[in-house]
Amino acid sequence: MGFKKNIISTDLAPAAVGTYSQGVEHNGTYFFSGQIGLDAKTGEMAEGFEAQVAQIMKNIDGLLEACSITREHIIKTSIFVTDLGNFSKVNEAYVAYFSEPYPARSCVQVPALPKGALAEIEVIAAKG
């Protein structure tokens, strides 16, 4: 038997707009593609950094819900921002979204993100 991976696809988060899946599950570990501040229903980008991060968290919740897992299953986040000056806002959003013990995390500044987004967050979760 070959390598087994399960593709995650849901309308609870924005659809993939390129050659990638919303997520992939393998042996109880979930690798979700980065989420930007697009509303899954309207396809519109939230306005402003805080609103985009709030929408990103809603999108992540949709992905988790589609897999019958919760925020508690997230073990790693990777955060990409176009302005590291928003780092304190990232921390504020993180505390509002997660509770201790927090997942491992990286946060880096990038020159640009798809669709002019100000932030993108990808997560890895595990069930087991």
DSSP, collapsed to helix, strand or coil, labels residue 118 as: coil
Answer yes or no: 107 catalytic: yes
Q: Is 101 exposed, middle or buried (0-12, 13-18, 19+ CB in 10 A)?
A: exposed
Exactly one of 12, 40, 45, 107 is catalytic; which is it?
107
Q: Are 63 and 12 in contact (CB under 8 A)?
A: yes
Q: Which residues are catalytic?
A: 107
